[in-house]
Amino acid sequence: MQIQVSLSLEINANATFSEMEAQIQEAGHRWMREALIKTVRAWEGTRPFCRRCGGAIRTEGTTRRTILTLFGQVQVVRRRFRCQSCHHRFCPSADLLQELHFSRVTEGLREAAILAGASWPYRHAAATLKRLSGAEISAEEIRS
């Protein structure tokens, strides 16, 4: 599976080095979010048959899921399918996202939140994660 994501960046010629660094970091986070969305879509495309009976499937719309990652909040548009043989409805990406265990937080962000929450007050930990990695996680999610 191969995906392609383009990144173009316009930086002010009068920007300081720190401003350039911040703009490049934010652009990198946007690229990572876009790459994750495209990767999930491509992964769904590799499952063109019903997982229950192996029959042909057809698209039945989409559903959205918001996921909190180390590089920010990602809204994944998950495709829904219906088998034309057994009429089973499913989202192929449900198998991919089951490691989140009905959570919105990825394992990488969960680990970073645990480390930050153990080191600083929860609000400060959330602000630090946002500043350093772009992760948008609340103080309450860090606490839990």
What are the pLDDT digits (tens) for 93-141? 888 888 887 788 999 999 999 999 999 999 999 999 988 888 888 999 8
Looking at the structure, do residues 40 and 72 belong to the same domain, yes or no?
yes
2 inside domain:
no
Residue 61 placed within a domain? yes
- Does some domain include residue 134? yes
Whole domain around residue 135: which residue ranges? 105-144
Nearest in space to 100 (alpha carbons), one of 139, 51, 65, 72: 65
Q: Is residue 4 in some structural domain? A: no
Q: What is the count of structural domains for the chain?
A: 2
Asked whether residue 29 falls in the same domain as residue 52, the answer is: yes
**Mind listing the pLDDT tens digit for each residue in 65-77?**
999 999 999 999 9
Q: Which helix (H) or strand (E) holds 25?
A: helix 17-45
